């Protein structure tokens, strides 16, 4: 694998406020990375730096280019959708597709038409006549019709019902993603994308708390449900988080093999959501 994105010591400050603090990471091509963080964690600032919308300290390279100084060249191979789909309200759907086809060499009008046929959007409708969900569907259909090396999705299904969200992610995997493309997605609906991800990155307070392939989580983290004396014994192994559920202590451990917990209770690999909450709470303590 080759690195599509390379960041070393990247920071971004707004006056006395530090939005991103000395982060370093690599994103390899052909990956689906989930960037997970609470509001105000630094996700948007980091995305803006990757897209060349803001400068930053440190070293940042996307496809071998400086995103701030070489943004025009970079954007030929990047697609981006923000959490709020902004499209001209006066324009008709067919006019919008004509415009994108005229300005973007990697746009497939045929593909866009196929995607829109799966919705209730009429080509003759104006954007102002569409519901919020339909506007998002239109925006997504355009983005997924552009052949790009990097697709950046910031809360891509915000405001959509669960049926379209499921369809969107299925289309993303089956019809868009391949080993030549890389997808970076942020969402608060972590459970919906967990099974899609190849890698996950947690960010909070401008710092990276976790940067790991999904397949490595089972080797690094164990969630144990125990009670009574067994729970007390497990507690002595130093969990990074503990909660009570149905009369049992549910503890999360980092860096210990499962052999340490033999006979103490029920073991499983924690969900991304549970792991995220544990890592953030521990960091804030």
Give pTM, 2 decimals. 0.89
Which tens digit of pLDDT belongs to each residue from 195-251? 999 999 999 999 999 999 999 999 999 999 999 999 999 999 999 999 998 889 999
pLDDT at 1: 56
Domains and CATH numbers, the chain: 3-205 (3.40.50.300), 216-284 (3.30.70)
Q: CA 125 from chain center: how many Å?
A: 31
Alpha-carbon distance 52 to 55, whole Å?
7
Q: What are phi and psi of 32, to 5 degrees?
A: -115, 105
Ordered strands of the 248-254 beta sheet: 241-245, 248-254, 221-226, 266-268
* Calpha distance 229→38 (Å, rounded): 36
Answer for the pair 169, 140: CB distance below 8 angstroms, yes or no.
Answer: no
pLDDT number for residue 183: 93
pLDDT at 2 over 80: no
């Amino acid at each position: 694998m080759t690195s599509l994105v390379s960041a070393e010591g990247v920071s971004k400050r707004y006056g006395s406020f530090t939005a991103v603090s000395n982060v370093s990471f690599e994103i390899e091509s052909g990956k689906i990375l989930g960037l997970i963080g609470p509001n105000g964690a630094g996700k948007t600032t980091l995305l803006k730096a990757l897209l060349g919308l803001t400068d930053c300290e440190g070293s940042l390279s996307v496809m071998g280019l400086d995103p701030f100084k070489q943004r025009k060249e970079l954007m030929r191979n990047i697609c981006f959708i923000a959490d709020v789909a902004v499209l001209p309200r006066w324009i008709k759907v067919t006019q919008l597709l004509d415009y994108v086809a005229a300005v973007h060499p990697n746009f497939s009008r045929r593909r866009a038409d196929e995607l829109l046929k799966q919705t209730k959007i009429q080509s003759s409708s104006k954007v102002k006549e569409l519901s919020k969900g339909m506007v998002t569907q239109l925006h997504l259909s355009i983005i997924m019709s552009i052949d790009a090396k990097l697709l950046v999705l910031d809360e891509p299904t915000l405001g959509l019902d669960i049926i379209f969200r499921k369809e969107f992610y299925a289309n993303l995997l089956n019809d868009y993603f391949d080993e030549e493309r890389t997808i970076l997605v942020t969402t608060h609906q972590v459970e919906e994308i967990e099974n899609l991800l190849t890698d996950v990155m947690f960010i909070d307070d401008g710092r990276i708390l976790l940067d790991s392939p999904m397949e490595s989580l089972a080797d690094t983290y164990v969630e144990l449900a125990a009670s009574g004396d067994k729970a007390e014994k497990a507690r002595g192994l130093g969990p990074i988080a503990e909660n009570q559920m149905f009369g049992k202590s549910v503890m999360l451990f980092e860096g210990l093999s499962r052999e340490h917990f033999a006979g103490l209770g029920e073991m499983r690999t924690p969900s991304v959501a549970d792991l995220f909450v544990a890592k953030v709470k521990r960091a804030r303590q």
